[in-house]
Structures are given as C-alpha cells and as structure tokens.
C-alpha cells in the first residue's frame, strides 16, 4: 500500500495518508481531483469495486467529508478516498459513470445530507423521505428531539426512565 500511495502522490495532491491495516489505507484528495483519482484507481490500479460511499457532517468546521471505499480483489486491499466539501454549498461530481450503484448512494446522500451530485440518475427523486420538506435529517444541526416532539403524540401509559436511576432501582431495589 505504501508503494500505491507514493505512485498516487506523484500524480495527484494526495494528503493525510492513514494506514488502518496493512490492507487498508485512507487518504484525502482535493474535490477538483477526486473523480480523476478515483477513475485512476479503478482503471490503472485495479480498485474495481465501490464498496460504499458515505458522508460525515463536520458541523463545527463547516464541511462534509465524503468517503469512497474502493476494493481491489486481486490485492485483497481497500482504499478510502476522503473528499471535503463546503457545507454551505455541498456539490460533488458524480461517479455513477464508473459504478452504476453509486447513483443509489448519491441519492441517499442528497436526501439525508443535502449533498448534490448533478447529473446523477434520479438524484432529485425522493429516496426514502417522500414529502420531506425539513432540513436533511442526517445533518448534525437537525434537531431530532424537537422534530419528534412536534410530529409524534405522546402515548398513554408510557413512562420514561433516566437510564442511570432506572438501573440503580433494578439492581439495588433495597437501597
């Protein structure tokens, strides 16, 4: 994997390499270079399987982190390509032309985080949240408790227990 990173550093602006294991490494690349690098990994380095595409909301930093996990079956190795997007305008070029299943991941990320992938098939169609008009629910500034209180009614007979106190009562009922 070290040799792979060295080859990539010569062609792309690869930063922050992290070897999770001997067969798994992660690194960061600029948004402008990401699709070219991912294409290179697929076409030249044998990383032919997109295992997943996911996002992390770094609210305090004003960024989203996309992670593309690619697998090279012959090497039995994985590479995680991290890309940071501006949280105020989260737009990323699509990779659905490389892997058809990427369109599904991208639809989910659009709906749950608000990250757009222009040109990706069916990107603007509802994925799970039909009729949703609120902030995307996987963003960290989405207030889950407030949404639940406004949307769902309390059911009679239900009680809420503070977990620490409840466990003390269950474990030490005599005290």
- Which residues are CB-neighbours of 155 under 8 A, at least 6 positions away? none
Q: Are the CB atoms for 99 and 106 separated by under 8 Å?
A: no
Compute the C-alpha angle 54/59/62, nearest 5°: 95
pLDDT digits (tens, 9 = 90+) for 85-123: 999 999 999 999 999 999 999 999 999 999 999 999 999
pLDDT of residue 39: 98
All residue ranges of the chain with pLDDT < 50 are none
pLDDT of residue 83: 98
Q: Which residue has the tokens 């009562």?
A: 169
pLDDT of residue 160: 74
Which token pair is 36? 């070219």
Nearest to 66 by CA among 115, 129, 102: 115
pLDDT of residue 69: 98
State the CB neighbour count (10 A cutoff) for residue 85.
21
CATH number for domain 2-171, candidates 2.40.360.20, 2.40.50.180, 3.90.1150.10, 3.30.460.80: 3.30.460.80
pLDDT of residue 161: 76
Q: Give the separation between CA 53 and CA 161, rounded to whole angstroms.
A: 37
pLDDT of residue 170: 86
Average pLDDT across the chain, whole number? 94
């Amino acid at each position: 994997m070290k040799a792979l990173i060295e080859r990539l550093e010569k062609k792309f602006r690869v930063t922050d390499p992290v070897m999770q294991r001997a067969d798994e490494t992660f690194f960061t690349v600029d948004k402008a270079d990401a699709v070219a690098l991912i294409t290179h990994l697929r076409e030249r380095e044998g990383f032919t399987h997109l295992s997943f595409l996911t996002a992390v909301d770094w609210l305090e930093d004003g960024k989203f982190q996309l992670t593309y996990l690619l697998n090279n079956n012959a090497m039995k190795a994985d590479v995680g390509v991290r890309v940071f997007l501006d949280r105020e305008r989260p737009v990323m070029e699509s990779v659905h032309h490389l892997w058809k299943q990427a369109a599904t991941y991208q639809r989910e990320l659009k709906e749950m985080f608000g990250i757009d992938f222009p040109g990706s098939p069916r990107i603007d169609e509802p994925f799970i949240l039909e009729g949703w008009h609120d902030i995307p629910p996987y963003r960290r500034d989405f207030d889950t408790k407030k949404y639940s209180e406004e949307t769902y009614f309390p059911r009679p007979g239900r009680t809420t227990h503070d977990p620490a106190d409840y466990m003390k009562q269950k474990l030490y009922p005599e005290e």
